Structure 1
Amino acid sequence: MRKIIYNMGYFFAESKKIIQSNLMSNVLTVISIGLIFFIFSMVITGLKISNRMMEIIQKDAEIQIHYDDKMSDDKVEELLERIKGLDGVLDTWIVDEEEAYRRMEDVLGKEADILKLFDENPFSPFIEAKIDLAYMDSVFNKLEHLEGVQYIRDNREILERIKNISGILGILGSLIAAAVAVSTFITVSHIIRQGIYNNREQINTLRLLGAPEPFIGFPFMLEGLILTLAGGLLTAILTVFSINGFYSLVATPLPFIPLPPREHLIEFMILVITCLSAILGIGGSLFGISSARKS
C-alpha cells in the first residue's frame, strides 16, 4: 500500500499519457458513458418520484362504506369503531349529507345546477376509510361481512393498476440498471485492452526490468476509473439540470403533486452516480487487464 501511495504521481502521469495517446477515442468514451449513465439516472429519478407518489397514494387510499340509513347514531359509531379496528385501516370518519352534496358539486363543476332539481338532498351519509394498499383485499373481505354495511364504493381497479404500475417500473428499472452496468463494463474493459495493446512495447520493457504485474496494471486501472468518473460528472451535470427543469415545469404550477424534496433527490442521484462510476470503472478496468493478460 505504501508503495502504491509513494508511486501515485507516476501512476497518474502514466494514466495521463495513456489517455492522451488516444484522446479522441477516450473523449467519445466519456460522452458515451455519460449518456448511458444519464439514461440510468433518469430511470432511477423516475423510480424515486413514482415511489414517493406511491407512498402518498397508499397513505391517501380511501374507500366509501355505505351503511343502512335506519341505523341509530350509536350503531353507526359502533360500526365506525369496528372498521377502525381492522388491520390495514389507517383512519375512519363520517361524511354527512352536506359534505357529500358539496363533493358532488365539486365533481360536476358547471353541471352542478342539476342538483337543484331535487327538492331534498339526494345523498346519504357514509363512512370514509383510509386504507393501506398492502391490506386491500383483506380489508374488503372483512368489510363485506360486517353487519350494517350495505355496499362499499372503492377504487379497487385503480388501486390494483397503481400496484401493477409500481411493480412494472421496478422490474423495468432493474433491467435498465443491469443493461447500463453491462454496457459500461464492456466499454471500459475494451478501452483498457486497447490501451494495453497500444502500449505493449512499454509493458514488455517493464516486465524485463522486473516490474510486478500490479505495478504495470495500476495506470490502466486509473485510466478506466478516470474515464467513468468523468462520464459520471457529465451525467451528474445533466441530471441536475433535468431535475431542476422538471421541478420548474411541474412542481411550481402543480404544487399538490407529491414530489420528493428537490435537494434530497439531487444529493441521492449524485451519490448513486459517483458510486456507480467508481465501481464500474474499477471493475471494468480489472476485467480488461485480466482478459488482456490471458490473450
Structure 2
Amino acid sequence: MKGSSIGYLLKEGAKNVWVNRMMSVASIGVLTACLLLIGGAVLFSINVNSIVGYVESQNELKVYLKSDITDDVRSSLDANIRKVANLGDIEYIPKEKGIITFSKTMGEYSDLMAGLEGDQNPLPDAYDVKVKDLSALNATVQALQSLEGVDSVAAPVEVAKSITGIKNAVTVFGIIVVAILVLVSLIITANTIKITVYNRRKEINIMKFVGATDSFIRLPFIIEGTILGLLSALLAFLAVWVGYDYLLSHLTQGAAGWLSLAYKNFVPFDQVAMKLFIGFIGAGVVSGMFGSMLFVRKHLRV
C-alpha cells in the first residue's frame, strides 16, 4: 500500500469520527464509563491492600528467653535471630526494661508492681520482632522456637489468619471485578461499534464492489476505533485523577480515628498514575480496534 493511500485512509478514519459524531459520542461515553469503573476497582483494591499491609506490619512477636540462659548463648542468639527470614524490626528487651514498660501499661494500678525490681522481677528477657508477611507466620514461629536459648514465642495467630484472609479476599475480589468489567466494556463497546458499522454497511458494500481491498476498507474503521479508544482512555484517566484527588482532599479535612489511619496509608495517585494511564490506553485501543475489526469483517463478505 502506497504512502499516499495510507495518508488518505488515516484522514478518512479521523474524518469518520466527526461525520458519525453521534455514534462516536455514544461509543466514547460507554467506554469511558467502563474504564472509570475499572479504574475505581483497581484503586480500591490497591488501597485496601495498602491499609491491610500497614496493619500487617504492626503485628509483633514476643520471643521469651530462658531464665538460665548464659551470656555466650545470649550473644549467639542475638546473631541467629537476625538471620531468621521474614523478620523486620528486632528489639532486645531486657527484663529490667520490660518491667518498667509493663508498669506503665497498668496505669493507676502501677503501684502493684512495686518491689518487683532486681531479683524479684518475674519477667524474662525478650525480643520484640515484627513480621513482614503474616501468611508465613507459622514457619517464622517454628524457626524462632528452634533457636537455642528461646523458651517460647507469643504470636497473634488468629489475627494473622484474619488479616491474611482479608488480604487474599480483596486480591481475588479485585481481579474478578476487573476481569468482569473488562469483559463488559469489550462487549458493550463492540456492540456500539457494531451499530456504527451496520449504519454504514452500504458504503462498505459499494467500496467492495468497485474493487477496494479488504485492508483498504477495514483500515479507516480500525483508525476510527483506535481514536475513540484513545479519547475514552484520556477522559477516563482525567476523571479518575480528579475524583481521586478530590476524595483524598475531602478525607484530609475530616479524617479522624480509623479513617485517619486509613488516609495515611492511601496510595498517592502519582505512584499508580503511569501504570493506570498505560492500562487505560491499552484497554481503550484494544476495545476500539477489536470492535471495528470484528464487525467490519462481516460486511466484507459480499
TM-score of the alignment, normalized to the shorter chain, above 0.5? yes
* Alpha carbons of structure 1 residues 99 and 262: separation in structure 2 relative to 1, 3 Å: farther
Equivalent position of 2:85 in the other structure: 87
- In structure 2, distance between residues paired with 1:139 and 1:53: 23
C-alpha distance in structure 1 between counterparts of 2:101 and 2:298, whole Å: 68
Query: Which residue number in structure 1 is paired with residue 273 of structure 2?
Result: 266
Q: 1:101 to 1:292 in 2, by over 3 A?
A: farther
Counterpart of 1:65 in 2: which secondary structure? strand
Matched, 1:35 2:33: yes
Q: Write the mapping of 1:147-226 to structure 2, written as runs, cut at 5 A.
A: 147-226=148-227
- How far did residue 94 of structure 1 move? 0.5
Partner of 1:126: 126
Q: 1:37-68: per-residue Cα shift (whole Å, max 9, x none)?
A: 11211121133334445665666653111122
- Structure 2 CA distance for aligned equivalents of residues 101 and 11 of structure 1: 78
Which moved further from structure 2: 267-276 or 32-41?
Answer: 267-276
Structure 2 CA distance, aligned partners of 1:288 and 1:174? 29
| Change over 3 Å in CA distance of 1:193–1:82 after alignment to 2 | same
Deviating more after overlay: 245-254 vs 218-227: 245-254
Secondary structure, counterpart of 2:264 in structure 1: coil
Residues 1:294 and 1:61: Cα distance change in structure 2 (over 3 Å): farther
How far has the Cα of 1:280 moved from its partner? Answer: 2.0
Residue deviations 1:217-262, cap 9 Å, x none?
Answer: 2232233223333332232122112321333245685478344343
After TM superposition, give the deviation of residue 90 of structure 1 in Å.
Answer: 4.2
- Report the Cα distance in structure 2 between the residues aligned to 1:43 and 1:69, rounded to whole angstroms: 52
RMSD in angstroms over aligned alpha carbons? Answer: 3.1
Taking a change above 3 Å as real, the CA distance of residues 5 and 157 of structure 1, as seen in their structure-2 partners, is farther
Change (3 A) 1:201 1:11: same
Q: Does 1:114 align with 2:114?
A: no
Please, which runs of 5 or more residues in structure 2 have no aligned partner?
117-121
1:263, 1:34 → 2: CA distance? Answer: 21
Partner of 1:12: 14
- Which letter does structure 1 place at the counterpart of 2:282? C
Aligned length: 288
Q: Find the counterpart in structure 1 of residue 292 from structure 2.
A: 285
Q: What corresponds to 1:49 in structure 2?
A: 47
Please tell me whether residue 231 in structure 1 is matched to residue 232 in structure 2: yes
8 Å Cα contact 1:229-1:277 kept in structure 2: yes
CA offset at residue 266 of structure 1?
A: 2.6
Secondary structure at the aligned position of 1:7 is classed as helix
CA drift of 1:81 comes to: 2.1
User: What CA distance in whole angstroms lies between the structure 2 residues aligned with 1:46 and 1:294?
Assistant: 45
Mapped to 2, the partners of 1:209 and 1:201 lie a distance apart of: 12
Partner of 1:143: 144
Answer whether contact 2:214 2:300 (CA < 8 A) is retained: no
For 2:276 and 2:96, how far apart are their aligned partners in 1?
47
Consecutive unaligned residues of structure 1, counting only runs of 5 or more, are: none
Cα distance in 1 for partners of 2:71, 2:58 equals: 26
